[in-house]
């Protein structure tokens, strides 16, 4: 059982650190409003993971993963939200040139916790991941609901640790990131990345 558990930690850890929508959303909020907003965004993302986990244990995520129409609906909503966030970032960071080293940058828009929650709740690939891959990582000696709950909590814990550490690294680079030109360049890059991720999510899969 210990070997199975360690293998699950390794797989979930790798999946957690791979850059994706979560990291892009956290980057945007941390750049716009600082590490506090970044951490609150992490809280919303993890809440979304726990909601997907509860849905998986209850069997609802499997229904979504098995229904092409429901999956496509959530997929397009999620893609649209990422494109919206990317366009918002481009608008905020591209509407004016930086005024100087004391420029405060664009103001944050909306609740960071809600931004993280919505971006994760509208990601149907998590449903597929939880219903397809997670059961193969479950310790065989535990009842299925308990094993899945354990793995979901483990995934959420790893996500908190990784994304919070990422926000901390962004805050340690604060002096450089607070330079208007660098902040603007990173904001524009993040906006383009969010739009690209949204288009990739919306793209038909084979």
pLDDT at site 104: 46
As to burial, measured by CB atoms within 10 angstroms (0-12 exposed, 13-18 middle, 19+ buried), residue 19 is exposed
pLDDT at site 163: 95
Q: How many CB atoms lie within 10 A of CB 96?
A: 10
pLDDT at site 97: 46
Residues near 34 by beta carbon (within 8 Å), at least 6 away in sequence: 171
User: What pLDDT tens digit does each residue of the chain (206 aa) get?
Assistant: 677 778 888 888 888 887 788 888 898 888 878 899 999 999 999 999 999 989 888 887 777 777 888 778 878 887 888 788 788 778 876 665 444 434 445 555 678 999 999 988 888 778 778 887 788 788 778 888 888 899 999 999 999 999 999 999 888 876 666 667 776 777 778 778 878 877 887 887 65
Alpha-carbon distance of 20 to 26, in angstroms, equals 10
pLDDT at site 123: 81
């Amino acid at each position: 059982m210990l070997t199975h558990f360690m293998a699950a930690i390794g797989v979930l850890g790798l999946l957690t650190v791979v850059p994706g929508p979560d990291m892009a959303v956290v980057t945007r909020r941390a750049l716009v409003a600082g590490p506090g907003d970044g951490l609150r965004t992490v809280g919303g993302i993890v809440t979304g993971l726990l909601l997907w986990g509860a849905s998986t244990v209850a069997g609802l995520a499997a229904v979504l993963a098995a229904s092409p129409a429901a999956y496509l609906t959530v997929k397009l909503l999620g893609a649209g939200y990422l494109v919206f966030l990317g366009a918002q970032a481009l608008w905020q960071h591209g509407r004016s040139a930086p005024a100087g080293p004391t420029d405060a940058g664009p103001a944050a828009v909306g609740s960071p916790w809600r931004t993280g929650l919505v971006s994760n709740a509208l990601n149907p690939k998590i449903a597929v991941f939880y219903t397809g891959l997670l059961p193969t990582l479950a310790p065989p000696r535990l009842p299925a609901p308990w094993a899945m709950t354990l793995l979901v909590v483990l995934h959420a814990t790893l996500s908190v640790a990784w994304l919070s550490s990422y926000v901390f690294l962004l805050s340690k680079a604060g002096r450089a990131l607070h330079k208007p030109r660098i902040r603007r360049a990173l904001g524009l890059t993040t906006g383009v990345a969010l739009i690209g991720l949204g288009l990739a999510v919306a793209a038909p899969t084979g």
